[in-house]
Amino acid sequence: MAQNPDPYIEVTTIAGRTRPLDDWLTIFHLCLVALPARPEAQDYVPVGRRALEVFQGADCKTAFLVSGNEQQARRLLGKAADEFVVFLDPERKLVSGLGLARLPAFVHLRADTALVDAAEGWDPAAWNRVAQGLGKAMAWSSPAYPQPGDPPAFEGWAT
């Protein structure tokens, strides 16, 4: 079950910058799309991209979190690896710190790193709930889930 993470978990970007989680948030909420480092997860990159593109202009930080190394993240995300902030989690410290049991996941953290909401697996209704809640918190529009072309509902991969 999703939970508040340790704010001092160190998180590294694909560019190699490492900081504690709370340093990444400081004054902004975090819209995080977590994906496993496996080729089959590519089907969920467009789903995650939709959230990140919508919330990029809001008062929140947006990022992909890949439970793998830089090479795996670049292979999985393709050009999205250069278009968004990408956190690497090869040891799954942040994934487990968030209490995520299934990926993909859509997570909303407040600026103080407290968990607001999370959807585990590809459950379009749950992703829609997280998106609506983040949109309301940011006084922003939110993406709708599901959309035509989205993958079918899927419980996700165990972390």
User: What is the mean pLDDT of the segment spanning 126-155?
Assistant: 97
Task: Provide the CATH number for the domain around residue 18.
Answer: 3.40.30.10
Q: How many domains does the chain have?
A: 1
Which pLDDT belongs to residue 136?
A: 97
The boundaries of the domain holding residue 135 are 10-146
Q: Is residue 79 part of a domain?
A: yes
pLDDT tens track for 91-107: 999 999 999 999 999 99
Residue 156 counted as domain residue = no
Q: Is 5 inside any structural domain?
A: no
Q: 39 in a domain, yes or no?
A: yes
- Structural domain includes residue 101: yes
157 φψ region: left (φ > 0), alpha (ψ -120 to 50), beta (else): beta
Q: What is the mean pLDDT of residues 55-78?
A: 96
pTM of the prediction? Answer: 0.97
